[in-house]
Amino acid sequence: MNKKLKLWELDRVSEEDFKLQKKFPIIVILNDIRSLNNIGSFFRTADAFNVEKIYLCGITAIPPHRDIQKTALGATATVEWEYRQSIDELMKELKVAGVSICSIEQTEKTTFLHEIDTLNDAKFALVFGNEVNGVDQKVIDESNYIIEIPQFGTKHSLNVSVCAGVVIWEFAKKFI
């Protein structure tokens, strides 16, 4: 028999130990995300995949907020985050620091998610855009890479927080 584990059997690290452990060199940038539930989901995913930091930009709401907490389940206390009004200034700073900017979007020329093994950069910032309009063109223009999730259905669209789970996991695997 393969017994399902209870929460107390999962051997989870404490919040203090999590904050101290070495993070994967992955930064998540949320630009103009409207949904508070999506923002909370990003925090929870970032905690699960040991992300270094989340930047909240533009109209993206910041914790504490009841609707963010509802989906974050406390991850706003474990994942380092910072608000920046301007994504443009943030991207300039990150590039100077040697971080490769990856916009998660569908464009004419992309790197498909299953091909990211070819990217040998040391540190990545993953940009996720607005639920309706996606990543701004000016952000795309300044990105080092455009990463696309191949899709085989009729919609060619995923909820942004679902997209985050898929993309962040693939990048996290590079550092395991």
SS (H, E, C) 90-144: HHHHHHHCCCEEEEECCCCCCEEHHHHHHCCCCCEEEEECECCCECCHHHHHHCC
Q: Which pLDDT does position 73 carry in this prediction?
A: 96
pLDDT tens digits along 112-152: 999 999 999 999 999 999 999 999 999 999 999 999 999 99
Tell me the domains of the chain and their CATH numbers.
20-173 (3.40.1280.10)
Return the percentage of the chain with pLDDT > 90, whole number.
99
Return the percentage of the chain with pLDDT > 70, whole number.
100
pLDDT tens digits along 92-122: 999 999 999 999 999 999 999 999 999 999 9
